[in-house]
Structure 1
Amino acid sequence: MPLQRGALAPDFQAVDLFGRPVQLAALRGRPVLLSFMRYASCPMCNLRMREMVLAHERLSREGLVVLAVFQSTAESMREFVARQDAPFALIPDPDMALYRLFQVERGWAGLLAPSNLPHAARAFAKGFGMGRIDGPIDRLPADFLIGPGGRIDLAFYARTAAEHVPLADVSAWLTTCGGENTAGPPGSPSPAC
């Protein structure tokens, strides 16, 4: 069962692409965007990474911490994702332990959805081509907005391989709610912060 809004985000310890430790609980007190990508050479994931890199300065001024997880090895990530010089933690998870912990889904319908085509075309036009596929090709992305108290304000499980929470929505969450978790019980409507 997917994680729900209002639930305490599962803690984890990992090592980022550069060998630095990352622990979710250590980020308490700050709002976090935890973004699960597909594999390191995925053109659509690299397009999303580019978008996140370009928006990072603004989002970090708003207090956001960004963590991006890939189902790839550190070696694959260095070959493909690291070229974008991301100013936030990139976490290799080739054993997919974090994907299981956050119940990130897979689905052939989401991979083959026609709505992926414009995103793929934009990715190819930006120079993000296909490479080695690490892990399940039918992996779907997921994004979690985690408030300073460690609770999930948004658990976004993509329906297609190119879908993520729009960064404008992340900014609105930071501005409107101040990154404070205002969630009621799981399944309750979003608050008017």
Structure 2
Amino acid sequence: MISLMLLFLAFFAQIPQDTAPNQDIPRLKEGEKAPLFKIEDVYGKQFKLKKILKSNEKTLLVFMRHAWCPVCNLRSHELIDNYKNLQAAGYEVVVVYESKQEALLRYVEDHQLPFKVIADPQGLLYKEYKVERNAEKLKASLKRKETLEHIEKGKNMYKKEFKSYMAEGESVDALIPADFVLDHKGKIIKAYYGQYLDDHLPLEELVQTTLQDTNSH
């Protein structure tokens, strides 16, 4: 935990004192068409979002930080534990990490991630989906008791030391996660932009909403 906090502190030392959150950050909105993309997945195979959308009732598209970020590891395990329930509710899950492919592949294999995984170290998809980098939100996150507890929990869930999933040149940044629920035509049903490092769309909400919709018909 100490080594991880040192990484955060080193990052904070580079933040200008007058840094302020951008109140006019563009966001994708519900009802809009999601940006479609073609890219290689973590295994080097061609991935077409349009094909995934057509093959599933809904798609949960998740934008994470690096795979060595403990709160992302915690979220990854939540997705692992709930993957079958999400599939039963009509979802496919696609997760984008800002990690480099080689390091991310080590993480995927060690933790046996069952869902679709994409490495986007250049942040191209993050830009398309308006995922923000916000130093103020990062600092606010580390003042929250819940976030600190999630960092510790996520760190303890790694199969190996978290640094083993770091690639050369990677360091802590201010990326804030985001989740999107897309229908089979690519329309955004839900756009969820986090307020903290560990702020994601509750998975129980997705499953319960689907069950309620099914029972109402």
The reply to whether TM is greater than 0.5 is yes
- Aligned-residue sequence identity (percent) comes to 29
AA of the residue aligned to 1:13:
K
Residue aligning to 2:152: 121
Please report how far the alpha carbon of residue 79 of structure 1 lies from its aligned counterpart in structure 2 after TM superposition. Answer: 2.8
Q: 2:174 is matched with which residue? A: 138
Residues 46 and 81 of structure 1 are in contact (CA less than 8 Å); yes or no, is this contact kept in structure 2? Answer: no
Q: How does 1:77-92 map to 2 (within 5 A)?
A: 77-92=104-119
Matched residue type, 1:125: N
Please list every run of 5 or more consecutive structure 2 residues that lacks an aligned counterpart in the other structure: 1-25
CA contact (8 A) 1:15 1:21 kept: yes
Which shows bigger deviation, 158-167 or 21-30?
21-30
Q: What amino acid is aligned across from residue 121 of structure 1 in structure 2? A: E
* Residue aligning to 2:48: 23
Q: Is 1:52 aligned to residue 79 of structure 2? A: yes
Preserved contact between residue 59 and residue 92 of structure 2 (Cα < 8 Å): yes
Question: Contact between 1:8 and 1:151, CA under 8 Å: does it hold in 2?
Answer: yes
Structure 1 counterpart SS, 2:155: helix
Q: How does 1:27-42 map to 2 (within 5 A)?
A: 27-29=52-54, 30=56, 31-42=58-69
1:59, CA displacement in angstroms? Answer: 1.1
Distance 2:52 2:209 in 1: 18
Q: Does 1:76 align with 2:103?
A: yes
- Residues 1:99 and 1:32: Cα distance change in structure 2 (over 3 Å): same
8 Å CA contact 1:158–1:164 kept in 2: the answer is yes
State the alpha-carbon separation in 1 of the partners of residues 97 and 157 from structure 2: 20
TM normalised by structure 2 equals 0.76
Please identify, of 105-114 and 150-159, the stretch whose mean Cα deviation from structure 2 is larger. Answer: 105-114
The Cα of 1:40 is off from its aligned counterpart by: 1.7
Per the TM alignment, residue 136 of structure 1 is displaced from its structure 2 partner at its CA by 5.9
Mapped contact 2:131–2:178 kept (Cα < 8 A)? yes
Within 2, Cα distance between the matches of 1:67 and 1:80?
16
Give the secondary structure class of the aligned counterpart of 2:181. Answer: strand
Q: For 1:97 and 1:176, how far apart are their aligned partners in 2?
A: 36
* Distance in structure 2 (CA, Å) of the matches to 1:163 and 1:109: 15
The alignment covers a number of residue pairs equal to 180
Amino acid at match of 1:171: V
Shift of 1:135: 6.4
**Root mean square deviation of aligned Cα:** 2.1
Deviations 1:20-48 (A, max 9, x none): 22211112342000000001211110111
- SS class of match (1:65): strand
Structure 1: state its 5+ residue gaps: 179-191
SS of the residue corresponding to residue 109 of structure 2 reads helix
The 1-side partners of 2:136 and 2:109 are apart by 29
CA distance in 2, matches of 1:58, 1:21: 26
Larger proportion of helix: 2
Alignment of 1:89-100 (within 5 A): 89-100=116-127
Shift in Å, 1:11: 0.4
Measure, in 2, the Cα distance between the counterparts of 1:176 and 1:25.
Answer: 27
